[in-house]
Chains A and B, each alone.
Chain A
Amino acid sequence: ETGVTQTPRHLVMGMTNKKSLKCEQHLGHNAMYWYKQSAKKPLELMFVYSLEERVENNSVPSRFSPECPNSSHLFLHLHTLQPEDSALYLCASSQDLAGQGSPQHFGDGTRLSIL
Chain B
Amino acid sequence: GNSVTQMEGPVTLSEEAFLTINCTYTATGYPSLFWYVQYPGEGLQLLLKATKADDKGSNKGFEATYRKETTSFHLEKGSVQVSDSAVYFCAPLDSNYQLIWGAGTKLIIKP
What is the interface of chain A, defined by CB distance below 8 A to chain B? Answer: 1, 4, 6, 40-45, 48, 56, 90, 92, 97-100, 103-109
Contacts and interface: CB of A to CB of B under 8 A. Distances in A.
The 7 closest A-B pairs by CB, nearest first: A106-B43, A43-B101, A42-B101, A106-B44, A103-B46, A108-B43, A100-B51
Chain A interface, DSSP helix/strand/loop, else mixed: loop
Nearest to A106: B43
B45 A1 contact: yes
A90 B100 CA distance: 15
A108 B103 contact: no
A4 B43 contact: yes
Interface residues of B, number: 20
Chain B interface, DSSP helix/strand/loop, else mixed: loop
A40 B104 CA distance: 8
Contact of B93 (A92, A99, A108): A99
A52 to B, nearest CB: 18
Nearest to B89: A43
B45 A106 contact: yes
Contacts of A92: 43-44
A104 B99 contact: yes
Contact of A98 (B42, B99, B102): B99
